[in-house]
Amino acid sequence: MYRAILFIIFLLTLPGNVFAEQSIPILIYHSIDEYNGKGSKELFVTPENFEKQMLYLKKQGYTLLTFENWQHSNSYRKPIFITFDDGYKNNKNAFNILQKLKDDKFQPTATFFVISDFIGHSNRLDQEELKWMSESGVISVQSHTATHPDLTKLVDLQDELLESKGKIEKITGKPVIALAYPFGNFNEHVVAETKKYYSFGLTTTPEIFTKKGFKNELFYLPRIYIKYSTTLEEFARLIK
């Protein structure tokens, strides 16, 4: 009887997320820079706003993770994933901000999904930049395919999936385990092929991830767009 009472007391003291399935926001960014009049304005987030958003996460007790740590997500009270698509050179602004906010308690990390054949182009991160940011432990470099095609329109995906993986791994010396689908487009064939080479596939389905238990769930991971027009108040609502 005494042991039963102690067990009940123990259960009551456990955090609520032990019993409830945890929600995990995965955010998607593209360019961290002032808008220069070229391209879609909404795909830019100013460095000032990005820093305010990351500072909000820090103050609210979020833990910024990369996909190498996915299996440990439930160990954290407020896990969140910060991702960037396309490998733009201005993503160094994000890296610098994350480095600036780092302290003993807040160890921010993020994932850069790069297009392997575009590495080193004029407005893209080059091999040296990707290597030292990866070695810093702040950035995980993952794949956004080799040439950024609509994968749903291809039959043979090996070049786009396997060659991009190999090229990035050669640069960083670390495993590439996650793929962000170009344009967010996917189908069953794309998922089946992605599963051969990766452990995760990321879409642009706009919702927070909660485990539902369906087949290949980790290859349909949703992400929430953070845009130029996203206010800090809206940012706070989007991740809850």
**Residues contacting residue 185 through CB under 8 Å, at least 6 positions apart:** 150, 151, 152
Whole-number Å distance between alpha carbons of 111 and 87: 10
Nearest to 84 by CA among 230, 223, 208, 218: 223
**Residues contacting residue 119 through CB under 8 Å, at least 6 positions apart:** 87, 125, 126, 127, 130, 167, 171
Query: Per CATH, which fold does 23-238 belong to?
Result: TIM Barrel (3.20.20)
Q: What is the pLDDT of residue 20?
A: 54
Tokens of 181: 């689908």
This prediction's pTM: 0.91
Rounded to whole angstroms, what are the CA distances from 88 to 118, 146, 206?
9, 15, 22
Whole-number Å distance between alpha carbons of 206 and 160: 25
**Residues contacting residue 136 through CB under 8 Å, at least 6 positions apart:** 95, 99
In this structure, the dihedral spanned by the alpha carbons of residues 86, 120, 99 and 85, taken in order and rounded to 10 degrees, is: 0
Q: What is the pLDDT of residue 22?
A: 85
Q: What is the pLDDT of residue 178?
A: 99
**Residues of the chain falling short of pLDDT 70:** 1-20
